[in-house]
Amino acid sequence: MRHLNRLMLTVATGVMLSVAAQAEPLHLNDKGYFETRGVNVLVFANGANSLFNDAKIAGVELIQQGVRTATNGDVRLMPTPGQWDEMGLVKDRQVDQATGVVTTTISYPKYDFTYQVRVEPKGEGVALSVILDKPLPEALIGRAGLNMEFLPAAYFHKSYLADGVAGTFPLYPSGPMKSLGEGVPMSRLLPQTEPLPLAHGKSFVLAPEDPARRVALTSDSDIALYDGRNQAQNGWYVVRSLLPAGKVGEVVSWTLTANSVAGWVRPPMIAHSQLGYAPQQAKKAVIELDPNDKPAAEARLLEVGADGSFTPVLTAEAKPWGHYLRYDYRTFDFSSVTRPGLYVIEYEGQRTSPFRIAPDIYATAWEPTLDVYLPVAMDHMKVNEAYRVWHGDSHRDDAMQAPPGDDHIDLYASKPGSTDTKYKPYEHIPGLNVGGWFDAGDFDIRTQTHYAVVRSLVQSWEKFGLTRDDTLIDHQRRYVDIHVPDGKPDLLQQIQHGTLQLVAQFDAVGHAINGIVEPDVAEYPHLGDAVTKTDGLIYDPSLARDEVKDGKSGMPDDRWAFTNTTSALNYGSIAALAAASRALKDFDDPLADKSLAIAKRIWAEEHSHAPNLYHHGNTTGGDLVEEELSAAVELLITTKEPQYAKRIEALWPEVNKTFSANAATLAQALPLMPKAFKAKVRPTVVALKAEADKLATANPFGVPITEGGWAGGGTVVEYGLTAAALNREFPDIVGTDAVYQALDYIYGTHPGSNVSFVSGVGTVSKEVAYGNNRADFSFIAGGVVPGVLVLKPDFPENKEDWPFFWGENEYVINVGAAYIELVNEANVRVKR
């Protein structure tokens, strides 16, 4: 056995030497990260996410051959930390260009523990070291370790060598586990278990057989390899070395060498609309190029024939655009081609997937969102589709009063001292188990999202008259059947469903509530059928935990209702109710009348006292002026009463300061406002158009691309809707280009890849997404994901093989509704 181990160590050493021989030395570039051909090492360029703490975008990160494969190189307190587990706080980051060293100072204040992570070139890789000024606190001995996490999807079907001993990465989590017992000092609120290592060693080679993913790690300390997916489906493979007790200075150091494929050049990415184009719209593909590429000067548009032929119809210059983020760009304009047909773009020997040019290109592109995504998101209903049940009649036990002073999960909180209701903490609030949609890839009901959805759906109803009927929705039976017409417009039924929840809140407590969310972290990340999250029975604290009696149970699994009142949330909710009252007239008259009565009553109440400015996170309403404006506009449209027009005029000085956020809402009211008011707004529209034109030239895609912890697909959709609203009222100032450009972006004309961000729409679309079925690496047709997340300083990313990045891949219900509206804005313009 000793001879075998020596032989395997020799093989491993040879592999590592091969890694070094093929690599070029890393150097610290002027953007503050280490770079060589095909390999980047980022050092705390991206901070921890304050919402969920661990978004897998922090610490030392590795980009190899254009793919971010590793993250969270930092000191962590668990072998496989989850998204609610503790992370250090970055206090200082120093980039020394002269020495090529990046030093970051991090602390865990709770433990009075401060350390430095130093990264510097070493050989063909980098040395990653942890430095302590004083010994590790006793509470962290055996807990604190240097971790680095490797993306499972990048290492599926691949092997590793640990001190020369071979292993393969498990495709499905199957590694050993241990129980931690009772009283273990952990922050984790999930089951008290922990993975055991898959392997140990002082030298690891990951994917020795794959030059594009080969990474070598060596250390004088023991390194252990774990599979974090045993703890949670979104876990990664983790390498870890424990920090030793009683030592100072450099206590742990790794040498990390990622293979750089000699002469590697990232293939060109031809960004285009996977859906296709209307004949009369501008058609521009954006070609994304590795700076080391020697680009071709021309691109071609080929028509696909019935016999499989590819006939060139246009050869034109691929015009240099310049540099954006980390890539060079060229544009290929084929607007001159208007003949309906099936086409591909060819550049440098690559051909895109086929797309259409057709006058009806947008006519049905919104239907999967209305037919599938919105029904699947419906709470308090059983949702069936042919042989499949998406989920049962969920959350029949809604909802329990959240206690005061609780800083909860997912930005829900309650202020100290009061719930603003008559209900005691943990008491059942009757009437809330109706209507509503799951907010996103999770299962909470977020009121601020809900009223945005209702207003957007009403806009689609009033502007476009979408009478499509492809879904059976029966509120009495609490039953939905997808692809089964019931003789009623689906859009009105969805408006009704959202309105039922908003009205229920006012009926239950007299005002809008922040939302309804899971009681604890253990229930919050639930994956699978929503009906299995709770037992569906109202909690009765007098019963034993597993006791059921008179339709109640002793299981405290009921969701919590966060009920503190806030003026912004009230205004946003009554805006939706006023709008819904118009759409529901002659469809559900009792609900329509009740909605309008609540809206008028709450408007009067809010104007009888100073505004309630309670605010927490993104669950208590948006900007007060913006929310009041929306209420005034919707009430004006519904009632035509002059008091609301007067209030809009009074709000104008404040609205003018943030006009871009309010322009679409204000445009709704302009036909009912005095002509002098519209004239007053006009100069601001001119200024906004100039600002939008400037934004459109900041990148080659012609739309605003955000940077931050959540990708900007929703922002792009709103950009298109704002342009549509202003085009309707000021056609001499604002054209229609932004409407089409926003959709082109969503359908694939964006950085990083050319996948459509609407699942099931376009030839190649988002098929691995962060829906509530994400553990299946699947999608929900019609869902819209956030899209391209720009990691600082310059890396655009949207993972196609890993659904668990919420900031890139999570469906959000209000973006789905806004997408329906935007597609139809384009469709009506095509018909003109």
The model's pLDDT over 293-335, given as tens digits with 9 standing for 90+, comes to: 999 999 999 999 999 999 999 999 999 999 999 999 999 999 9
Among the listed residues 644, 512, 510, 633, the one whose alpha carbon sits nearest the alpha carbon of residue 582: 633
Q: Which amino acid is at 251?
A: V
> Would you state the pLDDT for residue 187?
36
Given a cut of 60, whether residue 790 has pLDDT beyond it is yes
Q: Are 438 and 398 in contact (CB under 8 A)?
A: no
∠ CA 519-522-524 to the nearest 5 degrees?
A: 60
Rounded Cα–Cα distance for residues 12 and 14 (Å): 5
What pLDDT band is residue 522 in, cutting at 50, 70 and 90?
confident
> Would you state the pLDDT for residue 581?
98
Q: Which residue has the higher pLDDT, 761 or 84?
A: 761
pLDDT, tens digit, for every residue of 454-497? 999 999 999 999 999 999 999 999 999 999 999 999 999 999 99
Cα torsion 194, 258, 63, 31 to 10°: value is 120
Cis omega (within 30 of 0) on the bond before 297? Answer: no
What is the distance, to the nearest Å, from the Cα of residue 333 to the centroid of all Cα atoms in its chain?
Answer: 31
> Would you state the pLDDT for residue 50?
55
Enumerate the β-bridge partners of residue 216.
Answer: 205, 257
Rounded Cα–Cα distance for residues 786 and 784 (Å): 7
Rounded Cα–Cα distance for residues 309 and 659 (Å): 51
- DSSP annotation of 405: T
Phi, psi (deg, nearest 5) at residue 219: -165, 155
Q: Which residues contact 129 (CB under 8 A, 6 or more apart)?
A: 117, 118, 119, 250, 252, 253, 254
Query: Alpha helices, DSSP H only, in 510-614?
Result: 567-583, 589-606
Q: Are 43 and 56 in contact (CB under 8 A)?
A: no
> Would you state the pLDDT for residue 83?
85
What pLDDT band is residue 601 in, cutting at 50, 70 and 90?
very high
What pLDDT band is residue 7 in, cutting at 50, 70 and 90?
very low
Given a cut of 60, whether residue 161 has pLDDT beyond it is yes
Q: Which residues contact 405 (CB under 8 A, 6 or more apart)?
A: 414, 415, 416, 417
Cα maximum dimension of the chain: 92
Among the listed residues 498, 523, 509, 521, the one whose alpha carbon sits nearest the alpha carbon of residue 438: 498
> Would you state the pLDDT for residue 709?
78
Report the SS3 class of residue 133: coil
Q: At what angle do helices 447-464 and 813-831 cross, to 10 degrees?
A: 20
Mean pLDDT of 72-85: 93
> Would you state the pLDDT for residue 676?
97
> Would you state the pLDDT for residue 14?
40
Q: Are 167 and 159 in contact (CB under 8 A)?
A: yes
> Would you state the pLDDT for residue 48?
66
Given a cut of 90, whether residue 12 has pLDDT beyond it is no
Q: Which amino acid is at 659?
A: F
What pLDDT band is residue 51 in, cutting at 50, 70 and 90?
low
> Would you state the pLDDT for residue 2?
32
Mean pLDDT of 207-219: 98
> Would you state the pLDDT for residue 474?
98
> Would you state the pLDDT for residue 19?
43
> Would you state the pLDDT for residue 15?
40
Mean pLDDT of 695-717: 92
pLDDT, tens digit, for every residue of 536-567? 999 999 999 989 999 999 999 999 999 999 99
User: What value does the mean pLDDT of the chain take?
Assistant: 94
Q: Which amino acid is at 246?
A: G
What pLDDT band is residue 645 in, cutting at 50, 70 and 90?
very high
- DSSP annotation of 32: S
Q: Which residues contact 455 (CB under 8 A, 6 or more apart)?
A: 575, 576, 579, 630, 634
Rg (alpha carbons) of the chain, rounded to whole number: 28
Mean pLDDT of 100-123: 97
Among the listed residues 348, 351, 361, the one whose alpha carbon sits nearest the alpha carbon of residue 283: 361
Q: What is the pTM of this model?
A: 0.94
With pLDDT > 90 as the criterion, what percentage of the chain qualifies?
A: 90
Given a cut of 90, whether residue 707 has pLDDT beyond it is no
> Would you state the pLDDT for residue 20?
40
Given a cut of 50, whether residue 361 has pLDDT beyond it is yes
Rounded Cα–Cα distance for residues 671 and 659 (Å): 18
359 exposed, middle or buried (CB, 10 Å; 0-12, 13-18, 19+)? middle
Mean pLDDT of 179-205: 74
179 exposed, middle or buried (CB, 10 Å; 0-12, 13-18, 19+)? exposed
Rounded Cα–Cα distance for residues 658 and 724 (Å): 18
Among the listed residues 610, 504, 605, the one whose alpha carbon sits nearest the alpha carbon of residue 561: 504
